Structure 1
Amino acid sequence: MSGSAAERGEDMRRRGDARGRALLDALLEGRSEPDLAARAASGLGLPERGRYVVAVLGAAGCGPAAVAMEADGLRFFRRRRGDRETVVVALGDRDPAAAAALLARWCPGPGGIGPVAEGLAGLGAARRLAEVALLTCPPGTSEVVRLEERLPAALVASQPELSARLVTDVFGPLLALDPADRALLVRTFEAWLECEGSAGRAAGRLYCHRNTVLNRLRRLERLTSRSLTRPRELIEMMLALDAFRLTAPQP
């Protein structure tokens, strides 16, 4: 008798878990059914108006096998969606950077994390923006990135036709160069940007003379017909660089 009651209890628990997961999937898909968020909160034991982030990973296989788990004061719910894995993180009062750090440690990447959703009803929008963040990861990389850190690249990645046009219009002459020559100019431009426009610091990073950096940048300006000293043209070149990174094969 007791064994039968235990089996019935276990069956009810499994069905309750399945209902909770189905409701979570509906939220991630952005459905607008009446009381959906409230029912999901009850089924999953989560606050309806809590703080959440959603991560979308380019490949399944994130960390331990459990669908739901807790770590460092955070609760994680994993869902497989096609060839990707979606992870919902209940933050509580924690900073989203804590969730990003754990996911980067557990997951092979690449992955994108959307902005904080203030309530379960916002999971659908958070998931869509996490997918945009994932698009900012160049081919062959394994990083897990937050959308807030990649907004310009996200703008470029979310408009692939305009992105391709930007690369052609701005970097067209650069694309005609020998690959090694092109890579040298691109890496010099990247280093100069990373060093906040300091040719001297970029030279130290590239193990060359400051004048070498300046000569390469001047050549880049000639090839693109744009000046690094004109803000609008510099913005075009930076966005074109983001677009180029997202489409260029990795060495």
Structure 2
Amino acid sequence: MRRDPRAAALLGPLLAGSDQPHRVRRAAQGLGLPERGRYAVVVLGAPVAVPAVPAVPAVPAVPAVPEGNGERWCWCGRAGVVLLGPGGPAGPVAALAEAGAGPGGVSPVVGGLAELGLARRLAGAALAACGPGSREIVALDERLPAALVASRPELSARLLAEVFGPLLTLDPAERALLVGTLEAWLECGGSVGRAALRLRCHRNTVFNRLRRLERLTSRSLSHPRELVETVLALDALRLSAAGR
């Protein structure tokens, strides 16, 4: 993995959104990277400080992610640029998770260094979808609805209040029970029976909890539009302090 201090100077403007040809050429030549290629950007939630060495400024530590399958890494602060091999971004996501580097967001694949600004913004949106206290590494395409919710906090707060307002007044343990049942039901594809097996309770218990949640939210889980509102509100709750 590259830890070349030149990476910050060369890639920094590109990650900030510049796509000027001379900057792209300079970064490509300075770091030995192709101008066109399959790139992704990773944004970590917080760099890990390393002890300062006399006469040498302290710099953020970056995760020791092995380069394999043709991947090449360059780091610029909390942002990592990876030139992907044939395996795509799944390998880097798994390697970062195994290295305990989270929380982090990973952009979709872009077609060259000139698109790193876009990739940096999308990776930031993926990071925002991780939620408070998360240590996971999230690819944006796996969390698009949550990223949409996180990108508009004022609308997210309004959605949460409108849909889950009465739910938020419950005792935290009672609220967690209803929310956990909803999450299990969604993860089980809307099957009450499978959710009951996962929760180790009777299917009627799951059914009754879901009916109570419907009454509290005034949304029916059997109506597609109202179900969408409920699922988005669930993402808003997970990303909020109330969801901790």
Same fold (TM over 0.5): yes
Deviations 1:204-223 (A, max 9, x none): 11110000000000000001
Q: Select the structure that is richer in helix.
A: 1
**Cross-structure match for 2:58:** none
- Judging changes above 3 Å, is the alpha-carbon distance between structure 1 residues 19 and 179 closer, same or farther for their aligned structure 2 residues? closer
State the Cα RMSD in Å: 1.7
1:177 to 163, 170, 176: 170
Q: Which residue identity does 2:201 align to in structure 1?
A: C
- Judging changes above 3 Å, is the alpha-carbon distance between structure 1 residues 18 and 241 closer, same or farther for their aligned structure 2 residues? closer
- The alpha carbon displacement at 1:192 in A equals 0.2
- 1:142 is paired with a residue of what secondary structure? coil
- The alpha carbon displacement at 1:142 in A equals 0.3
- 2:67 is paired with a residue of what secondary structure? strand
Gaps of 5+ in 2: 49-61
Report percent identity of matched pairs.
63
- Judging changes above 3 Å, is the alpha-carbon distance between structure 1 residues 216 and 18 closer, same or farther for their aligned structure 2 residues? closer
Q: Which residue identity does 2:17 align to in structure 1?
A: G
Gaps of 5+ in 1: 1-16
Larger radius of gyration, structure 1 or 2? 1
- The alpha carbon displacement at 1:250 in A equals 6.2
Q: Is the 8 A contact 2:24 2:114 kept in 1?
A: yes
Distance 2:144 2:238 in 1: 15
- The alpha carbon displacement at 1:20 in A equals 4.9
Aligned residues: 228
- Judging changes above 3 Å, is the alpha-carbon distance between structure 1 residues 108 and 32 closer, same or farther for their aligned structure 2 residues? closer
Distance 1:20 1:36 in 2: 12
What TM-score does the superposition give when structure 2 sets the normalisation length? 0.89
* Higher alpha-carbon deviation: 99-108 or 214-223: 99-108
**Cross-structure match for 1:53:** 40
- The alpha carbon displacement at 1:18 in A equals 5.1
Deviations 1:2-53 (A, max 9, x none): xxxxxxxxxxxxxxx6555412111111123342212211111111101110
What TM-score does the superposition give when structure 1 sets the normalisation length? 0.86
Distance 2:198 2:17 in 1: 45
Distance 2:47 2:7 in 1: 21
Distance 1:37 1:162 in 2: 37
Deviations 1:101-139 (A, max 9, x none): 111112431100011110000001100110010001111
**Cross-structure match for 1:138:** 131
- 1:100 is paired with a residue of what secondary structure? helix
- 1:87 is paired with a residue of what secondary structure? strand
- The alpha carbon displacement at 1:167 in A equals 0.3
**Cross-structure match for 1:123:** 116
- The alpha carbon displacement at 1:72 in A equals 4.2
**Cross-structure match for 1:199:** 192
